[in-house]
């Protein structure tokens, strides 16, 4: 499998944060988005950002900005589709997505997703982590490996009203790559002002 390109998903409306771009919030001297870029860029063959609205607000990243092609904010799958369409133009076979509000995700995200999907004709894999209290395994639907070959299938599913990531990945035999939860939950994401304060504390530990 060729090295994937990366797509950072920042197309949400951040309603619990009061609107705006969560990724542009400061996390101990750098934006959350900068933390995400610094973790993902070394793992991929190229990088883009999925976001809606005025692309100029992300100009300092130097990344191509990919708006959703499906109207009315249908969720992260629309960002995946935008990434797949862009990747097709880059000659890539797969993309790996990461959320713009999750600054501590694993530095081996991409190789572990590729390992989990090894041997699949159309590799679809999601990251997962286990709740340390309940032991339940939680799928992380914004962190995944997606094949460009399924972009038209995904487009049709979105146009038919599908919105849940795991419903689509299950259709295509998606596998899981489990990541350990240590001192810091690698998939901790910032949705509220309280979680932003928590992330700032975690980043100092």
* pLDDT tens for each residue of 10-39: 976 544 444 568 899 999 999 999 999 999
Residue 205, pLDDT score: 75
Q: Which residues lie closer than 8 Å to 30 by C-beta, 6 or more apart?
A: none
Residues 146, 80: Cα–Cα separation, whole Å = 8
- Tokens of residue 39, six digits: 């973790």
Residues 101, 103: Cα–Cα separation, whole Å = 6
Tell me the fold of 5-204: Spore Coat Polysaccharide Biosynthesis Protein SpsA; Chain A (3.90.550)
**% of the chain with per-residue pLDDT over 90:** 82
Q: How many CA atoms lie within 13 A of 155 on its CB side?
A: 11
Task: Look at residue 137 and give its three-state secondary structure.
Answer: strand
**% of the chain with per-residue pLDDT over 70:** 95
Residue 182, pLDDT score: 86
Whether 180 shows a pLDDT value over 60: the answer reads yes
Query: Poorest-confidence range of 88-102, 103-117, 122-136?
Result: 122-136
77 touches 162 (CB < 8 A): yes
Residue 19, pLDDT score: 55
Q: Which residues lie closer than 8 Å to 74 by C-beta, 6 or more apart?
A: 68, 158, 163
Task: Look at residue 84 and give its three-state secondary structure.
Answer: helix
Whether 2 shows a pLDDT value over 80: the answer reads yes
Task: Look at residue 42 and give its three-state secondary structure.
Answer: helix
Whether 174 shows a pLDDT value over 60: the answer reads yes
The per-residue pLDDT for range 36-77, each reduced to its tens digit, is: 999 999 999 999 999 999 999 999 999 999 999 887 777 999
Q: Which residues lie closer than 8 Å to 185 by C-beta, 6 or more apart?
A: 104, 129
pLDDT band at 131 (very low <50, low <70, confident <90, very high): confident
């Amino acid at each position: 499998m060729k090295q994937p390109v990366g797509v950072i998903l920042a197309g949400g409306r951040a309603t619990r944060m009061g609107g705006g771009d969560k990724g542009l919030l400061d996390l101990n001297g750098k934006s959350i988005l900068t933390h995400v870029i610094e973790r993902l860029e070394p793992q991929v063959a190229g990088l883009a950002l999925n976001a809606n609205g005025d692309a100029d607000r992300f100009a300092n990243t130097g990344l191509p900005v990919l708006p959703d092609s499906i109207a009315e904010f249908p969720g992260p799958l629309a960002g995946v589709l935008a990434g797949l369409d862009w990747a097709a133009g880059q000659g890539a076979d797969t993309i790996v997505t990461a959320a713009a509000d999750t600054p501590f995700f694993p530095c081996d995200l991409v190789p572990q997703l590729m390992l989990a999907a090894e041997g699949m004709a159309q590799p679809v894999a999601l990251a997962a982590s286990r709740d340390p209290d309940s032991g339940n395994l939680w799928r992380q639907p914004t962190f995944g490996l997606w094949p460009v070959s399924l972009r038209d299938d995904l487009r049709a599913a979105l146009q038919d009203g599908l919105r849940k990531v795991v419903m689509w990945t299950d259709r295509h035999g998606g596998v899981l790559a489990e990541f350990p939860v240590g001192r810091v939950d690698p998939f901790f994401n910032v949705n509220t002002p309280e979680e932003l304060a928590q992330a700032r504390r975690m980043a100092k530990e």
